Chains A and B, each alone.
Chain A
């Protein structure tokens, strides 16, 4: 009986000990085995610092590799408003107290802000949340500014990386290239059209660091590998592009015109060497250009080409065998056609006996309409489709227009005649240039290209998909058309305006009315010059289009630009002086 209490206590103690140990064991197993993975992950997460490895958005270069668009690292300057207080700055011998006001002055002189603006950012953030720990002072400062700010050693000033874009050549091809937003997303132009080529993929990694901020070796875990973007190579020649833009701009400004475009295309390859738009866009400073001028009109805005369409119509007539350069037509100033359509020529004149060449030389609407009629509307429409006047190019330029041309059976009585001389149909500058390219290249149309290739970060080269070249008209028809266009130069008023000594040129002018959007036509004209050099073996297509010049002598607006571009192209591409004399075709009978 005496032993019992002791035994009982022993058992009790043992039971408690066993229970406690059991409890610990359960807990131990729970922590070490059951939740081990999750807890380890938690602890790693707490010690690890996530970091973004920024990929590089690819370059955009011209045909020779000159960089037109490049990526740079910029820095956002941020502030911890709750910590924006006085701090001590170590100078050579003493410590100086720097107030936020003084610091704001120092920051402002570097970022170009007023000190009040900086203090306002801090005050506003604190007013909203007294414990505010984050606010932007200035976004996207460059390296020099960042370094200078960093040297100030302001303890409440912080920085974050912000990948940016820079366009070293400014507005050279700016309208084509487009721009990216402050968030790095493409917003316009080829930056959008070829985003898949140039955009990269940002990487993500985690690493651990010691108390002194030094990364612990071997602690880096990459979850997403960064992938740089590819290099987009254009067919543009940046030097020529600049020259064309500059020359065009000068003339557009001189005549207070609305806008201008100029295109240089390689005849044998269809490559676009220069596509100038004015007003120009400097992608470094997008805000300086109004919204409607930021894109490339040459690709986006169809216009009624006018008389530059006449050589195209003539080429159809010759190719279809319904006319020769000598085909005769009586050309009155005014004519009413059996279907009720009425036409006049640009200038009043007595009835003229013209050949087809003469119709082009005189740029006669009435004459062209009469001759054009000899080919069925359906056939003419088919030719225009084959010339690419209803399709977009393979450029990859976003929002490219395919022009406006109604199917032939929807043409009204007026349009039936008007399309022969380029009214009642709207084309882009690129479409017209490409149609002339077919004439220059022995009747073979090679779709215009703006992008040479895309070289991915791993070195693979992707070529844009270009539709097959098509034979639009026969080589002899093409040659005859070029001869007629050359006679426009040699026998007309424009000889001196566009001829470069030693070189033969074939071209055609256009002065076209544009729809006013209310069913009628505007009083102002879009004037254009389109041609090819050298006429004996066309190598380059040159187009100049200027809208609404404020002058009565609209014919004189384009030729100086056309000639300047001709000369520049001849020099730049070392074109040999022309061989032989221009053929002389009869213009009257």
Chain B
């Protein structure tokens, strides 16, 4: 008897399934079925070896129903995760904003420093400043070009010593003005900078007067050993002939 009852679901699985699922949900299913199940279990205990396959099988609906909880947990966790991540991200972005602002500010400052340095360099590199310093150091322009041919030591051109007043600036300061150089002192004035203002002025005068007095001697020195007159230039200016 019990056998037939137990096997009945296998005969009409669809209907029993619906009925069972209804009982699982605790709806108003007839109690008979519970009893039947109980009976079946007792009979199963009694004849364990005979019918090992009889047990409560999770129906498809049950299998479907169970993950819902899992999904809910996952969803909630993800939502919380997102909230937390969002929070952390915005904290990071906000602190990044300060970092960016700080870096931009320092970039700006460095740009300004670069600008002032570059301006300083450019004005110090101006021909006015270089020439003034060179002449203050006693250098003059030897305007007579002469070439020395390395292959035979011949002198091309007619060497002439530079005259003491060959300075290009001498006597014409400020003819090619550069107002950026206002306040830039000559290298020769450096030593006297520490001194008092009056002493400084005197040193300036001395520096200006210096080139005229000093220039003649060093420039004229090499003139002695050089043969006079131009040398014929047959094959252009030669390079070094290494042997």
Contacts and interface: CB of A to CB of B under 8 A. Distances in A.
A-B interaction: yes
Interface of A: 66-67, 70, 72-73, 142-144, 146-147, 166-172, 210, 214-217, 238-239, 242-243, 245-247, 249-250, 253, 278, 280, 282, 284-285, 288, 500-502, 564, 567-568, 570-571, 575-577, 579
A249 B116 contact: no
B3 interface: no
Contacts of B55: none
A73 B115 contact: yes
Nearest to B116: A143
Contact of A576 (B93, B123, B237): B237
A238 B180 CA distance: 17
B145 A282 contact: no
Interface in B126-173: 126-128, 131, 141, 143-147, 156-158, 160, 168-169, 171-172
Nearest to A142: B116
Contact of B181 (A70, A170, A217, A247): A170
A143 B115 contact: yes
A284 B145 contact: no
Contacts of B175: 245-246, 249-250, 253, 278, 280
A168 B122 contact: yes
B28 interface: no
B131 A214 contact: no
A576 B236 contact: yes
A167 B177 CA distance: 11
A280 B176 contact: yes
Nearest to A167: B180
A298 to B, nearest CB: 16
Contact of B230 (A67, A215, A249, A577): A577
Contact of B144 (A247, A249, A250, A500): A500
Q: What range describes how many residues of B lie at the interface? A: 35 or more
A73 B115 CA distance: 8
Interface string B92-124: 010011101100100000001101101100110
Contact of A288 (B118, B122, B179, B237): B179
Given A170-B177, A284-B179, A147 B157 contact: no
Contacts of B169: 246
A170 B126 contact: yes
B125 interface: yes
The binding surface of chain A is classed by DSSP as mixed
B178 interface: yes
Given A215-B101, A246-B172, A500-B144, A576 B233 contact: yes
A217 B96 CA distance: 8
Tell which of A238, A501, A571 has the most Cβ of chain B within 10 Å: A501
A501 B143 contact: no
B143 A571 contact: yes
A76 to B, nearest CB: 15
A246 B177 contact: no
A215 B179 contact: no
11 contacts: A70-B118, A73-B112, A144-B116, A169-B122, A170-B181, A171-B176, A172-B128, A238-B127, A249-B172, A501-B158, A577-B230
Nearest to A238: B127
Interface in B213-242: 230, 232-233, 236-237
B180 A214 contact: no
B158 to A, nearest CB: 4
Given A172-B127, A501-B160, 14 more contacts: A67-B122, A142-B116, A146-B112, A166-B119, A214-B98, A238-B127, A246-B175, A249-B175, A285-B177, A285-B179, A501-B157, A502-B145, A567-B143, A568-B141
A280 B128 contact: no
A170 B143 contact: no
A502 B156 contact: yes
Nearest to B96: A217
Contacts of B168: 243, 246-247
Contacts of A172: 126-128, 176, 178
A250 B166 CA distance: 12
Nearest to B147: A577
Given A214-B98, A576-B236, A502 B158 contact: yes
Contacts of A210: 97
A315 to B, nearest CB: 29
B187 to A, nearest CB: 18
A214 B103 CA distance: 12
Nearest to B181: A170
Contact of B126 (A73, A168, A502, A567): A168
Given A142-B116, A216-B97, A217-B93, A250 B177 contact: no
A245 B128 CA distance: 11
Given A67-B122, A576-B233, A170 B128 contact: yes
Contact of A502 (B115, B123, B230): B230
A70 B122 contact: yes
Contacts of A564: 143
Tell which of B118, B145, B158 has the most Cβ of chain A within 10 Å: B145
Given A170-B128, A568-B143, A215 B178 contact: no
Contacts of A250: 171-172, 175
B243 to A, nearest CB: 25
A284 B113 CA distance: 21
A531 B154 CA distance: 30
Pairs A-B, 4 closest by C-beta atoms? A170-B178, A249-B175, A168-B122, A501-B158
